[in-house]
Amino acid sequence: MIVRIKYCGGCNARYDRTAFVKRLRTRFPSIRFTFEDTALPDFALVVCGCPVKCAAYESVRGRVGRFVSSSEDDFSPVCAEIERVLSNSPDDERETAGA
């Protein structure tokens, strides 16, 4: 599985967005996280630094979904959404996701 990460500009960040993504990478080591915008990923995560969510993210899409986070409180819901996507993936896709 491939998850595209898109950060906001960080003009009013109220939490450590980089640490948020590092925690996701630790929790889901078999997922390939990328910042590239070259192909349609399976899932997209827009990491905004505050509740305003002013980043331009309308064009950031994932094949099976997108989540826009705006606080550390979104960590559990993001994990739940990724787990939902993983549970609906074919077994062979899950096994090769980290390759």
- Do 56 and 36 form a contact (C-beta atoms < 8 A)? no
Asked if residue 12 is part of any domain, the answer here is yes
Token pair recorded at residue 70: 């705006």
Whether the pTM exceeds 0.75: the reply is yes
Question: Of 17 and 88, which is predicted with more confidence?
Answer: 17
pLDDT at position 49 over 80: yes
Number of domains in the chain: 1
Which has the higher per-residue pLDDT, 85 or 95? 85
Closest CA to 28 of 91, 99, 98, 90: 98
- DSSP-assigned beta bridge partners for residue 53: none
**Cα–Cα distance measured from residue 76 to residue 82, given in angstroms and rounded to the nearest whole number:** 10
Find the domain containing 18 and state its range: 2-92
Domain contains 39: yes
Mean local confidence (pLDDT), 29-47: 94
For residue 43, list its beta bridge partners: 3
d(CA 73, CA 57): 20
In a domain, 98, yes or no: no
Looking at every residue in the chain, the average pLDDT score rounds to 88
> Is there a domain that residue 99 lies in?
no
